């Protein structure tokens, strides 16, 4: 793979646009001063792969619901009916998500690692920072597979039109005063500013919006409130599984709000199915040996190098890479040990000349719309770096 060195953005500039998590705990920059060079064929392949994968997820979601496989994929019991309710009604629109992928560069086949369907991170980095990095270096900022900002703006309109024709929103619905309340936890500047970026995009789309930390939002059988004002829509950058496990009373209230059509929540509850890493076992059952999938099981794979991880683990925690003979290559600790384990066939990630690994992340908002990379150790954790990209024509393909 090829990297291109760039002049980094200054901390002062990053903070001026609200990107305050630019430096990791070891004082190293979170944003790489390099970009991955991707050719047009590779960018198109990422686009096509993720559109196909999303269709497969939708088919598999129907299969989970029809066959009551929620326990299989570790879904908390108190969200099952909420998931069904959100799945059956089209108004529960999937706003955005991110596929994590191995391969896609230098001829390596694209393989699905997992799907961050509920509360995907790196949105600010992908939509804003990698674009700004090209612009600051005098490069064409349009030379990316990166339409995330506009794709989100269009998809906010689709929560009203419920179809591809977003012009209907501008023509018929833009002046009806639809209101979205945006919420994050108060202890994370990253979550707060990412949420406020989404709020800004929704404003541009034509919505009336407000922001409130989750602990100050009001919930009752009449809906969702900030002070005395009610909201038709609520966006929460709080994982559904955390609500189910840590806030069980809130989970029940939200179930009633959705059932009685008092408010609509983003991302919808059914994205928790997609978020579960156990869902990839369902995909493998339905699409065995599909070229975009890795063999996945709830039991250890016999005689194969594999990765053990937890259905709702995050940031590489509680993960093991297990060799063919059963010995441990590398492992991480964490707080997700209580979740069900899955075993996924091991695949090499893209690596640079120093042996550092790169994982592609492709955002999906109605369609695949943006590419970015994370780099780090074999198991990517919260110390991994964000690496932007630039699309260039491959001269070797032109000769």
The answer to whether residue 97 is domain-embedded is yes
43 CB-near residues (< 8 Å, 6+ apart): 145, 371, 391
Answer yes or no: do 226 and 370 share one domain: yes
Task: Return the closest-CA partner of residue 103 out of 397, 282, 387, 346.
Answer: 346
How far, in Å, are 36, 38, 277, 336, 384 from residue 116 at the CA level? 22, 23, 9, 16, 17
Q: What's the per-residue H, E or C state across the chain?
A: CEEEECCCCCHHHHHHCCCCCCECCCCCECEEEEEEEECHHHHHHHHHHHHHHHHHHHHHHHHHHHCCCCCCCCCCHHHHHHHHHHHHCCCCCCCCEEEEEECCCCCCCCEEEEEECCCCCCHHHHHHHHHHHHHHCCCCCCCCCECHHHHHHHHHHHHHHCCCCCHHHHHHHCCCCCEEEEECCCCCHHHHHHHHHHHHHHHHHCCEEEECCHHHCEEECCEEEECCEEECEEEECCCHHHHHHHCHHHHHHHHHHHHCCCCEEECCCCHHHHHCCCHHHHHHHHCCCCCCCCCEECCCCCCCCEEEEECCCCCCCCCEEECCCCCEEEECCCCCCCCCEEEEECCCCEECCCCCEEEEEEEECCCEEEEEEEEECCCCCCCCEEEEEEECCCHHHHC
Q: Which of 270, 183, 274 is nearest to 235 (CA)?
A: 183
pLDDT for 175 equals 67
CA 275/CA 119 separation, integer angstroms: 9
CB 372 within 8 A of CB 98: no
359 inside domain: yes
**How far apart are the C-alpha atoms of 213 and 155, rounded to whole Å?**
24
- Please check whether residues 159 and 302 belong to one and the same domain: no
337 and 231 together in one domain: no
398 located within any domain: no
Q: Spell out, as residue ranges, where the chain has pLDDT lower than 70.
A: 171-175, 394-399
Q: Are residues 288 and 156 in the same domain?
A: no
Q: Are 58 and 147 contained in the same domain?
A: yes
**Domain check: are 213 and 283 in the same one?**
no
pLDDT at position 199, please?
Answer: 97
Q: Are residues 28 and 117 in the same domain?
A: yes
* Distance set, CA 133 to CA 14, 138, 368 (Å): 10, 9, 22
pLDDT at 398: 40
Q: Is residue 399 part of a domain?
A: no
Whether 397 is in a domain gets the answer no
* Bridge partners (DSSP) listed for residue 226: 229
Residue 15 and residue 147 in one domain: yes
Q: Is the distance from CB of 357 to CB of 380 less than 8 angstroms?
A: yes
Domain count across the chain: 2
Four-residue CA torsion sign, 71, 308, 302, 355: positive
Which structural domain range is residue 35 located in?
Answer: 2-276+352-392
The reported pLDDT for the residue numbered 184 is 96
First to last CA, the chain: 19
350-351 and 341-345 strand pairing = unpaired
Give the other-Cβ count within 10 Å of 49's Cβ: 23
Residue 174 pLDDT: 66
Pair type for strands 341-345 and 306-310: antiparallel
CB 27 within 8 A of CB 202: no
- 171-228: pLDDT as tens digits: 666 667 789 999 999 999 999 999 999 999 999 999 999 999 999 999 998 999 999 9
Residues 170 and 36 in one domain: yes
Q: Do 61 and 108 lie in a common domain?
A: yes
pLDDT in tens, 244-299: 999 999 999 999 999 999 999 999 999 999 999 999 999 999 999 999 999 999 99
Residues 266 and 318 in one domain: no
> Domain boundary residue among 351, 367, 383?
351
Is residue 9 situated within a structural domain? yes
Same domain, 327 and 247: no
């Amino acid at each position: 793979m090829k990297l291109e060195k760039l002049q980094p953005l200054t901390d002062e500039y990053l903070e001026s646009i609200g990107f305050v998590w630019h430096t990791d705990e070891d004082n190293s920059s979170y944003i790489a001063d390099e970009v991955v060079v991707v050719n047009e064929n590779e960018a198109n392949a990422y686009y096509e792969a993720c559109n196909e994968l999303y269709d497969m997820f939708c088919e598999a979601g129907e299969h989970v619901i029809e066959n009551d496989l929620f326990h299989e994929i570790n879904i908390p019991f108190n969200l099952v009916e909420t998931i069904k309710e959100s799945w059956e009604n089209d108004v529960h629109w999937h706003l955005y998500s991110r596929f994590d992928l191995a391969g896609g560069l230098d001829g390596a086949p694209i393989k699905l690692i997992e799907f961050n369907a509920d509360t995907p991170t790196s949105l600010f980095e992908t939509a804003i920072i990698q674009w700004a990095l090209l612009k600051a270096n005098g490069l064409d900022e349009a030379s990316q597979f990166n339409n995330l900002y506009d794709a989100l703006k269009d998809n906010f309109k689709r929560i009203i039109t419920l179809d591809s024709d977003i012009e209907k929103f501008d023509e018929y619905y833009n002046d009806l005063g639809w209101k979205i309340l945006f919420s994050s936890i108060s202890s994370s500047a990253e979550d707060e500013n990412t949420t406020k970026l989404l709020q800004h995009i929704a404003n541009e789309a034509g919505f009336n919006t407000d922001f409130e930390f989750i602990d100050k939002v009001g919930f009752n059988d009449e809906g969702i409130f900030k002070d005395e004002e009610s909201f038709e829509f609520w966006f929460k950058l709080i994982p559904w599984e955390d609500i189910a496990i840590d806030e069980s009373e809130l989970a029940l209230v939200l179930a009633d709000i959705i059932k009685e059509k008092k408010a609509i929540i983003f991302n919808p509850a059914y994205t928790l199915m997609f978020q579960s890493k156990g869902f990839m076992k369902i995909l493998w059952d339905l699409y065995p040996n599909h070229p975009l999938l890795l063999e996945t099981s709830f039991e250890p794979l016999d005689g194969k190098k594999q990765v053990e991880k937890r259905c709702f683990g995050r940031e590489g925690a509680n993960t093991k890479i297990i060799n063919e003979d059963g010995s441990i290559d590398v492992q991480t600790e964490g707080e997700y040990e209580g979740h069900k384990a899955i075993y996924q066939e091991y695949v090499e990630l893209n690596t640079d000349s120093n042996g550092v690994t790169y994982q592609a992340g492709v955002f999906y908002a109605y369609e695949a719309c943006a590419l970015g990379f994370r780099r780090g150790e074999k198991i990517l954790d919260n110390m991994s770096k964000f690496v932007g990209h630039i699309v260039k024509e491959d001269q070797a393909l032109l000769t």
